[in-house]
Amino acid sequence: MKETVTIWHNPRCGKSRQTLELLRQNRVEPTIREYLKQPPSKAEIDGLIAMVGGDPAALIRDGEAEFKALGRKKAELTKADIAKAILAHPILLQRPVVVSGKRAAIGRPPEAVLPLLK
């Protein structure tokens, strides 16, 4: 049985649209989660942090006004800080994030999600 692939998507974001198109070019029709319309729960954010692995700060967008209002640097944030910030301001979730099974990747560049399809 094939794993369900989900894209945490913002249709206004070019990288998110490119990643969705790349998935479709690879014959994957993902479940599309527009996270600004359906914000993630704390458990979902914690799951994304765990699945993406590496530096959890990669999941947070630091160019947004909501991030600047935190008055902190990305490097100072703990996993709990990141989850709390994204929970309060879903716009801070880096996009797109593609999830397949128990693995996830940030589509920056879009090709970074291709290993999930193997």
The percent of residues in the chain predicted with pLDDT above 70, rounded, is: 98
Per the structure, the count of domains in the chain is 1
Query: Distance between alpha carbon 86 and the CA centroid of its chain, in Å?
Result: 10
- pLDDT(1) > 70: no
- Do 59 and 106 form a contact (C-beta atoms < 8 A)? yes
What's the mean pLDDT in 51-64? 93
pLDDT in tens, 5-35: 999 999 999 999 999 999 999 999 999 999 9
Per-residue confidence (pLDDT) for residue 53, from 0 to 100 = 87
Boundaries of domain holding 14: 5-117
Q: Is the pTM of this model over 0.85?
A: yes
Give me the chain's average pLDDT, please: 95
- The CATH number given to whatever domain includes residue 96 is 3.40.30.10
Task: Write out the catalytic residue numbers.
Answer: 13
- pLDDT-derived band at 2 (thresholds 50, 70, 90) equals low
- Do 31 and 5 form a contact (C-beta atoms < 8 A)? yes
**Coil, strand, or helix at residue 84?**
helix
